Amino acid sequence: MKILFVNACPRPQSRSRKVAEHFVSLLDGEVTYLDLPSEGLQTLTYDRLCTRDEALKNEDWDHPILKYSRQFAEADRIVIAASYWDLSFPAILKIYVEAINCVGVSFAYDQNDQAYGLCKAKDLIYITTAGGDMSKVDLGYGYIKTLCDEFYGIKETYCIKGERLDLVGEDPDRIVAEMMKDAEALAAKLK
């Protein structure tokens, strides 16, 4: 099984990444680690959009601009670690979404203009921690889950989350320990 482990946690001491590392260590498979903060990802400028459209038109699947999309589409399992920032996640994850959402690679459209998925992954696991309470409208995991449902065709999504880690009176070590247990339970379930 090809496991793609995507880190979208910029802080070196990230608790979300720590839980995700533990989770991934419990899985069987060949792990590819993608550290988004150090990847040097670029946004889709008009020039890059044209380059990508050209590569897709020419079915030039080995073009470097399609690298992340192909890697994502070819993984059997995807694990995303993302800190809860600004009610969702760090901007680097949105830049990654721009890089992987390619018509003809990670999803396509049918004759009725309905998107359908081209991703192989059976499941995606999203791991996040928040300083306070997460918003009622889920703009972090909820967004990624919607992409899985509506674009990628990834049928199962799971979230391991911890809240209130930075609030006075809370015990962040206990919250992380609880998350570790959740990670172990989910890893056992997915075996």
Ligand X SMILES: Cc1cc2nc3c(=O)[nH]c(=O)nc-3n(C[C@H](O)[C@H](O)[C@H](O)COP(=O)(O)O)c2cc1C
Residues that bind ligand X (CB under 6 A): 9, 11, 14-17, 83-87, 129-132, 165-166
Position with the least CB separation from ligand X: 131
Smallest distance, Å, CB 134 to ligand X? 7
How many Cβ atoms are within 10 Å of 101's Cβ, its own excluded? 18
Q: Where are the alpha helices (DSSP H) in 58-157?
A: 67-74, 91-100, 141-147
Give the residue with the Cβ less far from ligand X, 167 or 185. 167
Give the residue with the Cβ less far from ligand X, 14 or 157. 14
The pair of structure tokens assigned to 80 is 């995303």
Closest CA to 17 of 189, 174, 176: 176
Q: Which amino acid is at 51?
A: T
Q: Where are the alpha helices (DSSP H) in 7-90?
A: 15-25, 36-39, 46-57, 67-74
Q: C-alpha angle with apex 29: 26 to 30, nearest 5 degrees?
A: 120
Give the residue with the Cβ less far from ligand X, 16 or 106. 16
Smallest distance, Å, CB 72 to ligand X? 21
Smallest distance, Å, CB 8 to ligand X? 9
Give the residue with the Cβ less far from ligand X, 130 or 183. 130
Smallest distance, Å, CB 93 to ligand X? 12
